[in-house]
Amino acid sequence: MYGLLAAFASGPAFAGGAADAIADSNVTKTNLYLMAGDYHRALETCQRAINEMPSVGGYIRLTYVYQAIDGYPEQLSQEERWMAVEHLYLNLAYRDIEDLVDPPGGLARMAKEMIQTSVRQHFDASAAMAVRPDKTESDRLWQQQMQWRTAHPNGWWKGMPKAWLR
């Protein structure tokens, strides 16, 4: 009987630890996807994390990925690396094997504008959602990402702030 009660008593503590481990795993995966330039999977991971366990941090990370998707093609266009913009477009637009027989034929400059317009709209929405549950936590996380961006001006979108990685 005492064993059964102990098992039930430890259930929530275990669930919290498991939830923290899953959240840490999602942050680590998102960071690795950003480092690899796989923005499609970075977005999917953030969205899945919010669906499984909504949090201020989850919305901030999602918003950060949108910002990264906005910053990356901007840097590429400044460097006149239009082929890389097309690769980003492919990464965001296509995921299935069928895409190999029906490739896109879009122009890189158009793709850049389409990507940036869309992610800026999504950024605004997710940023607003991040503030509502806990403005103090949201402000703290924004400060961390601003410090990261300042420290890495030419490649901040390749990863997440180190403070977010446990």
User: If pLDDT is split at 50, 70 and 90, which confidence band does 5 have?
Assistant: very low
Alpha helices in 53-134 (DSSP H): 56-78, 82-93, 108-131
Q: Which of 13-17, 91-95, 112-116, 125-129 has the lowest mean pLDDT?
A: 13-17
Provide the residue range defining the domain that includes 70: 38-164
Percent of the chain with pLDDT over 70: 81
Whether residue 39 contacts residue 81, with contact meaning beta carbons closer than 8 Å, is answered with no
Looking at 71-75, 111-115, 117-121, which range is the least confident one?
Answer: 111-115
* Residue 63 falls inside a structural domain: yes
- Has residue 129 been placed in a domain? yes
Q: Does a structural domain hold residue 92?
A: yes
Count of domains forming the chain: 1
pLDDT at residue number 4: 33
The average pLDDT across 77-103 equals 78
pTM check: above 0.85: no
Average the pLDDT over 54-61 and give the result: 94
Query: Does residue 86 lie in a domain region?
Result: yes
